[in-house]
Amino acid sequence: MKSRTLLATFALTLPMAMLGYSPVQARDLTVVNFGGANGDAQEAAYIKPFEQNTGKKIIPVAYNGEQAKVKAMVDSGNVVWDVVEVETGDLGRGCDEGLYEDIDWPSVIDASDIVDGALMYCGVGTFVWSTVLAYNTDLLKTVPTGWADFWDVEKFPGKRGLRKGAHYNLEFALIADGVPVDKVYETLSTPEGVDRAFAKLDELKPHIQWWEAGSQPPQLLTAGDLVMSAVYNGRIDAAQREGRPLAIVWDGSVYDFDYWVIPTGSPNKEEAIEFVKYASSPKAQAAYSEHIAYGPVSKKAIEMLGDDVLASVPNSPQNAKNALFNDLEFWTDHGEGLEQRFSAWAAR
């Protein structure tokens, strides 16, 4: 027993390299995103170039935003995801719960080159995206112009697609009900405003087909199962590149960021930071927007894009003209209660 103790003590004094392993090299860097066209664009613009420049291997993983998985890893101390793409609402809640590393990102990334709203205390915006109204140009003789038309089932009969959740749908409902874009969150911050949004959703409920994965709306629109749908603009761009007859209405769109976060306790924290730094660079950002119609968070990257690319990204001056910027603070403060009410409403 004593000899084993001495042997163990001796082993602890040896350099890690002599024991045949290093904590930093314990496994490859794992980068988690939402997959689909977005995942393909990240592979081309971020992941492959980073691997080529550094010689480090990246394992890409696709998910549907399940923050419970991140929480389980952090709580158990077994973090196997190193960099994770999250939406705004999950960023706010995750930061508050300590799920993500609190990093001084302005000391890592040139903050002067990052657009407003993209640099948070525990996350870095990776692209600007938008939830838009889309339709099949072969099926509609009259072109819809906004969310009021989305709600007009007499003029545009047929099923509508909406993502199953409160987020964005409450905003669209108020816009359809005549609330100006710049007054949406002010209205939604009151009990009367919330009631008004749900009452507007009541009108459309029999005509809604819910979706959860971003790949579904383009498929359903192409098949004619939906006449219109709320959809991520990048998904429509990818479908258009495949020759599908789909179009976007930008008026009343809600634009937002997706953010990179590093789960608390990642054993590859330093490599994760280096990856986020590279993905935030002007060159990588411009390359990403050339692969998919999501906007750069780098100001220099925006200047590098041609007019044809700018015409399809959410944060171009033309497309953002009457768009609503998703309010992180609002959804951090009210999101849980609104999602609970939505779940109860949808189940009825």
Nearest to 325 by CA among 314, 311, 338: 314
Tokens 């935030």 found at: 280
DSSP 115: P
**Confidence band of 89 (pLDDT split at 50, 70, 90):** confident
Q: What confidence score (pLDDT) does residue 88 get?
A: 83
Considering only the C-alpha atoms of the chain, give the largest distance between any 2 of them, rounded to a whole number of Å: 86
Residue 326 pLDDT greater than 80, yes or no: yes
Q: How far apart are CA 276 and CA 125, in angstroms?
A: 10
Nearest to 314 by CA among 86, 161, 115: 115
Tokens 């939830």 found at: 131
Residue 124 CB partners (closer than 8 Å, separation 6+): 105, 109, 114, 118, 259, 260, 276, 280, 297
Residue 18 pLDDT greater than 60, yes or no: no
Q: How far apart are CA 121 and CA 107, in angstroms?
A: 11
List of domains in the chain: 15-128+257-310 (3.40.190.10), 130-255+328-347 (3.40.190.10)
Q: What confidence score (pLDDT) does residue 17 get?
A: 35
Residue 1 pLDDT greater than 60, yes or no: no
pLDDT tens, residue by residue, 255-306: 999 999 999 999 999 999 999 999 999 999 999 999 999 999 999 999 999 9
Share of the chain above pLDDT 70, in %: 93
Contact predicate 251/150, CB 8 Å: no
Q: What confidence score (pLDDT) does residue 26 get?
A: 55
Q: What confidence score (pLDDT) does residue 318 get?
A: 87
pLDDT tens, residue by residue, 144-172: 999 999 999 999 999 999 999 999 999 99
**Confidence band of 12 (pLDDT split at 50, 70, 90):** very low
Residue 334 pLDDT greater than 60, yes or no: yes
How large is the average pLDDT for residues 55-77? 96
Mean pLDDT of the chain: 90
Bridge-based pairing of strands 123-136 and 228-232 is antiparallel
> Beta-strand (E) ranges in the chain?
29-33, 58-62, 83-87, 119-120, 123-136, 160-163, 208-211, 228-232, 246-261, 324-325
pLDDT tens, residue by residue, 192-227: 999 999 999 999 999 999 999 889 999 999 999 999
**Confidence band of 117 (pLDDT split at 50, 70, 90):** confident
Helix 88-96 and helix 67-76, axial crossing angle in degrees, nearest 10: 20
Residue 301 CB partners (closer than 8 Å, separation 6+): 282, 283, 285, 286, 289
Contact predicate 171/323, CB 8 Å: no
Residue 340 CB partners (closer than 8 Å, separation 6+): none
Residue 4 pLDDT greater than 60, yes or no: no
DSSP 108: T
> How wide is the angle at C-alpha 248 spanned by C-alphas 247 and 249, nearest 5°?
135
Contact predicate 263/122, CB 8 Å: no
Q: How far apart are CA 140 and CA 209, in angstroms?
A: 18
